Structure 1
Amino acid sequence: MLKFTSTQSEDHKKAQNISLKNFLNKIIGNRFSLPQDVVEYNKKRAFVEQYVQTTIRPLLPNPSILESTTVGVGYFQGLKFGELLNLQAGIVQKLFGVYEVELTDELKTLEARKYDWIINIGAAEGLYSMAFSNIWKNIPVYSFEQDFCTRQLLKQMIKLNETPNVITLGEFNLSDVSGLAKKGKGLIFSDCEGYEKVLFSSETANCFENHDLVVETHDHLVQGSHQGVADSLSKSHSVKNIDQLTLQPRCERVADEQFRKLDVDTQCKLLDESRHIKNSWIIALS
């Protein structure tokens, strides 16, 4: 069990209370009806499939790309989606190789580094877990995703891409890091929707001092998240800040000739993930 260097912050206590509340609500709800997780999964699946067919497909210069089952270009080249393709967030960005392209160069520099394990916090459907698994083939990639619906996609992606070293787990706890810390150097990749301010605070920084981190920050969800994480990690790491590209510069990164022939407005509509906020990332190397 992790021992904090000082009294737990109010943010950390609040996060624990929220987690407990959600857990209790889920248990109570599931006692009297179809499990809410299953209901939500079916709703999300239906919504995304409809969005792809009615909004995305008509804009594509070559709609047959949606029948593709494998990413052809970019950092995630070779990743197989199969029948899960139409359930992906940012589907067009992924197929054209520009999904979170801001990180590509930084992630490629990490490939020369040796790790004994990888933790992916907020793994979603496993995009990064699959990529890491193919780069570091002989180490475990612990993939934490607490949302039931998304975790089912993650499990299917693991099977489809034949990545047995990707291990699916639910909610992440700090004790997971403290246990692995004794087993060599790790890479920690985090996208946990604002919880990063609690997770990578001055009180917990000692758990991460010997490991490399890539942390997506969400100031729109938790004020001061980015600066708080950067300040905490800069005491033990070399820290680099990366900002999210706007749509037009992202469009310019697409190499597909048919895509390039489209007018700028259509290009932007295709790549728009409806992220009407600007996320940032922190690369922290030990």
Structure 2
Amino acid sequence: MKRLVKSYLKKLRGEGLGRSVTALARWSLCSIIPQDWIYKVMRRRHEFLSIKLDRQLDSTVKYGQFKGLKFSAESSWSLEDRAGMLLGLYEKEVLEELQQSSDKHGIFVDLGAADGYYGVGVLVSDMFRTAYCFEATEAGQNAIKTNARLNGVSDRIVVKGIATKDFHKEFPPADIQSCVILVDIEGGEFGLFDEETFRAFSGAVIIIEIHDFLVDEGKAKVQRLLDAAAHTHRYKKIVTGSRDLSGFPEVADYIDYDRWLICSERRRQLPSWIRFDPLAPAHDGTLTP
């Protein structure tokens, strides 16, 4: 307490009564306001910025790998993410991984497809020939179909419900070995993917968003996931990197707070994914790194 008083008196002498009292009031206010309330205010501001940019860009992605992707008014997913999507910033690391894989694979499989941002986006950008979207909610399934129609790719997309343990049986065997799978199922990845699943998709690239913080013994389950894939896939870990907003004139006149809020994906911790790539087949038919 004495240290705080000394700090305030020093500020009083240096900046005068008006500024020092204002600083004291600001500090007191920030100390007593519940953190949850602050987060709610930030989310509302984030949503406001997304709506503003959405109107400005006519609900169409202007930058990045999915440039030209149009969004319908129907959305089953968080509206706050819209601004980052429109600027090509949302999960930019995943977009780059998909782009690197698109030349070798014609089929895209999306588990936890939400409203089809990825499922429709990879078709609009011609990264993949066909997309299978697995989405548990009816609202999400309808949104995917709506966005597919809006973007003229309905004949190249298949919308399904929740992915069960043998979901690999739901599309042609040839597609299994020529696909890229993106998984975002909020911790369900640990129950869905085991050694049998990885063997079924031994020729596929699999990118899984890791939600170890949402389940008990999360770190141990991540290790079991890696062990299950060891006979068929090698892996690398991916984490969210930096964002650069200097190239977007649409937000050049935004205050810094707003620009960086657009980049937020509201994660509880640093987002991470694991990418699994098939091991190369040896001459005797076994798999080698």
TM-score (norm 2): 0.69
Which position in structure 2 is the counterpart of 1:162? 152
Which position in structure 2 is the counterpart of 1:228? 224
Matched ranges for 1:45-84 at <5 A: 55-56=45-46, 63=52, 65-67=54-56, 68-84=58-74
Kindly indicate whether residue 90 of structure 2 is the aligned counterpart of residue 99 of structure 1.
yes
Counterparts in 2 of 1:221 and 1:64: CA distance versus 1, 3 Å: closer
Which position in structure 2 is the counterpart of 1:277? 269
Which position in structure 2 is the counterpart of 1:244? 240
Q: In the alignment, is the contact (CA less than 8 A) between 2:54 and 2:60 conserved in 1?
A: no
Counterparts in 2 of 1:150 and 1:181: CA distance versus 1, 3 Å: closer
**Secondary structure of the structure 2 residue equivalent to 1:227:** helix
Distance 2:251 2:224 in 1: 39
Q: In the alignment, is the contact (CA less than 8 A) between 2:209 and 2:272 conserved in 1?
A: yes
Distance 2:127 2:47 in 1: 35
Gapped regions of structure 1 (runs ≥ 5): 1-50
Counterpart residue identity of residue 248, structure 2:
D
Deviation at 1:155, TM superposition (A): 1.8
Aligned length: 231
Counterpart residue identity of residue 135, structure 2:
E
Pick from 187, 198, 207 the counterpart of residue 194 of structure 1.
Answer: 187
Counterpart residue identity of residue 146, structure 1:
A
Kindly indicate whether residue 264 of structure 2 is the aligned counterpart of residue 268 of structure 1.
no
Q: In the alignment, is the contact (CA less than 8 A) between 1:111 and 1:135 conserved in 2?
A: no
Distance 2:121 2:48 in 1: 30
Distance 2:85 2:101 in 1: 21
Counterparts in 2 of 1:255 and 1:227: CA distance versus 1, 3 Å: farther
Counterpart residue identity of residue 239, structure 2:
D
Q: In the alignment, is the contact (CA less than 8 A) between 1:226 and 1:280 conserved in 2?
A: no
Counterpart residue identity of residue 182, structure 1:
P
Distance 1:146 1:228 in 2: 25
Deviation at 1:253, TM superposition (A): 4.9
Q: How large is the RMSD of aligned CA atoms in angstroms? A: 3.1
Counterparts in 2 of 1:138 and 1:228: CA distance versus 1, 3 Å: closer
Deviation at 1:129, TM superposition (A): 0.5
Deviation at 1:54, TM superposition (A): 5.7
Counterparts in 2 of 1:89 and 1:161: CA distance versus 1, 3 Å: farther
TM-score (norm 1): 0.70
Q: Percent identity?
A: 23
